[in-house]
């Protein structure tokens, strides 16, 4: 039991209704008891939002590390953990342990490893991991090259009612590559792969998903041809969806200039034409959600020659801040952004949260979309500050992260 709490004088961002309205939220027993205007009970704790925005807490699909300070700083109340851990989450006991890691604060929702050891060869015990708390099954950082294994995975997951989260890069083309083929990779002498490697993986997986009837989600897509394939699949009524990170919406491969290892990501940054295609796919609904792809890497993994550095960025605490740029640029409106960050991942994975409905979980984020600040990799809450946005002036700041009616941090 938690003490009742009222958050007053807020702008309520409702991603389901698609509205922004003035009002407050009353919280009892970790759930939303009332919204808008309501009678204030006696002796209740209150938070004066002073006109700040209040929205459902963010649900970040596909984080690679449990990083509580970064989640709290970023307004994330539920984090969906990739199976790429040490050891990989390919056993029910490992899934159960991961699921308990964040409670009662930010809840961790583990993804089951699709194959034993994430080697792409033999299916893991997915049914047992579902019983242990896995909300979906994922191929991990890599694509499953064996089409027979992928088909069996999709068929088995479909029988269990689990979505499959796929990494989309044809490994026959991307092996050893650290960048996208193009002018910048050529100038820098970097091993690179064609952007078509992503679309090739997407095309095969969609065909197998159509054959099996499975729910298929591409964790991150980043190229025009891949978006076209997903767009066509949706037109045909297939249960296919995709996500993207703010980095791939806001940066192109120009950012790797100067061998900036903070800009070495997976998938790699793409050409400007692909970035523009990503913005169009976001605007027309082809892209279903935005994720941080939080993958903090310490200096020993990033302060290396570009080709030797680990891919990944610290993205959890800047997820909302960077995504707000899409609203200011007129790509989407604010309720749609909050839907992409909260209600869409909740719906995909069947998780609580993502709404301001009465009776729902009191997982909330209070933020000011206009507060100016500068991203500083040396002073981030995350356990590692490897961000390609280091030094960038931004607007939008999380003021409070509230989990089950309790303010964190």
Q: Average pLDDT in the 31-45 region?
A: 93
Instruction: Please tell me the distance from the alpha carbon of residue 249 to that of residue 337, in angstroms, as a whole number.
Output: 13
1 falls in which pLDDT band (50, 70, 90)? Answer: low
Mean pLDDT of the chain: 96
Q: Which pLDDT tens digit goes with each residue over 118-157?
A: 999 999 999 999 999 999 999 999 999 999 999 999 999 9
Cα–Cα distances (Å) from 177 to 83, 172, 294, in that order, read: 23, 10, 21
For the entire predicted model, the pTM comes to 0.96
Q: Is residue 399 part of a domain?
A: no
The 8-class DSSP code of residue 361 comes to B
Section 170-187 average pLDDT = 95
What is the spatial distance between Cα 397 and Cα 393, in angstroms, rounded to a whole number?
Answer: 12
Q: What is the pLDDT of residues 74-88, one digit of tens each?
A: 999 999 999 999 999
Q: Please tell me the total count of domains within the chain.
A: 1
Task: Count the Cβ atoms, other than its own, within 10 Å of residue 372.
Answer: 10
Domain extent at residue 114: 57-349
Q: According to DSSP H, which parts of 132-236 are helical?
A: 147-160, 171-174, 183-188, 196-212, 224-235
- Under the banding of pLDDT at 50, 70 and 90, the label for residue 190 is very high
Give domain status of residue 128, yes or no.
yes
Question: Is 90 exceeded by the pLDDT of residue 2?
Answer: no
Q: What is the CATH number of the domain that holds 123?
A: 3.20.20.140
Q: Please answer whether residues 307 and 23 qualify as being in contact, where contact means their C-beta atoms are separated by less than 8 angstroms.
A: no
Q: Does 34 map to a domain?
A: no
Per-residue pLDDT reduced to its tens digit, 285-343: 999 999 999 999 988 999 999 999 999 999 999 999 999 999 999 999 999 999 999 99
Question: What is the CA 26 to chain-centroid distance, rounded?
Answer: 28
Q: How confident is the model at residue 104 (pLDDT cuts 50, 70, 90)?
A: confident
| DSSP structural state of residue 269 | P
Instruction: State the DSSP string of 53-90.
Output: EEEEPEEEEEESS--HHHHHHHTEEEEEE-S-SSS-S-
**Is residue 307 assigned to a domain?**
yes
Model confidence pLDDT, tens digit, residues 343-364: 999 999 999 999 999 999 999 9
Residue 23 lies in a domain: no
Q: Judge whether 270 lies within some domain.
A: yes
In a domain, 320, yes or no: yes
Residue 372 lies in a domain: no
**Which of 368, 352, 345, 400 has its CA nearest to residue 30?**
352
């Amino acid at each position: 039991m938690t003490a009742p709490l009222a958050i007053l004088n807020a702008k309520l961002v409702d991603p389901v209704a698609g509205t922004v309205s003035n009002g407050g939220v009353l919280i009892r027993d970790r759930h939303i008891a009332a919204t808008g205007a309501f009678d204030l009970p006696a002796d209740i704790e209150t938070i004066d939002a002073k006109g700040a925005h209040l929205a459902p807490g963010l649900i970040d699909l596909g984080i690679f590390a449990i990083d509580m300070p970064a989640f709290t700083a970023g307004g994330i109340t539920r984090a969906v953990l990739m199976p790429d851990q040490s050891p990989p989450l390919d056993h029910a006991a490992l899934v159960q342990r991961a699921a308990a890691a964040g409670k009662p604060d930010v809840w961790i929702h583990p993804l089951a490893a699709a194959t034993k050891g994430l080697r792409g060869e033999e299916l893991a015990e997915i049914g047992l991991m579902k019983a242990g708390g896995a909300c979906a099954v994922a191929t991990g950082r890599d694509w499953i090259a064996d089409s027979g294994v992928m088909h069996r995975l999709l068929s088995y997951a479909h029988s269990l009612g689990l979505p499959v989260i796929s990494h989309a890069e044809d490994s026959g083309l991307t092996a050893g590559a650290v960048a996208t083929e193009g002018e910048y990779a050529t100038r820098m002498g970097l091993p690179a792969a064609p952007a078509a490697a992503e679309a090739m993986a997407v095309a095969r997986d969609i065909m197998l998903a159509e054959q099996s009837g499975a729910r298929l989600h591409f964790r991150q897509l980043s190229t025009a041809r891949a978006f076209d394939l997903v767009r066509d699949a949706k037109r045909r009524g297939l249960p296919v969806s995709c996500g993207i990170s703010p980095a791939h919406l806001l940066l192109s491969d120009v950012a790797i200039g100067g061998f900036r290892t903070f800009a070495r990501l997976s998938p790699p940054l793409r050409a400007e034409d692909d970035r523009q295609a990503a913005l169009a796919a976001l605007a027309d609904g082809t892209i279903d959600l935005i994720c941080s792809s939080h993958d903090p890497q310490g200096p020993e993994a990033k302060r290396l020659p570009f080709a030797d550095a680990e891919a990944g960025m610290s993205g959890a605490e800047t997820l909302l801040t960077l995504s707000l740029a899409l609203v200011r640029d007129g790509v989407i409106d604010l309720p749609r952004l909050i839907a992409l960050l909260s209600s869409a991942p909740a719906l995909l994975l069947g998780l609580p949260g993502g709404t301001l409905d009465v009776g729902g979980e009191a997982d909330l984020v209070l933020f000011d979309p206009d507060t100016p600040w500068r991203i500083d990799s040396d002073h981030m809450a995350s356990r590692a500050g490897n961000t390609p946005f280091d030094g960038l002036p931004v607007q939008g700041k999380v003021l409070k992260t509230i989990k089950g009616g309790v303010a964190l941090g």
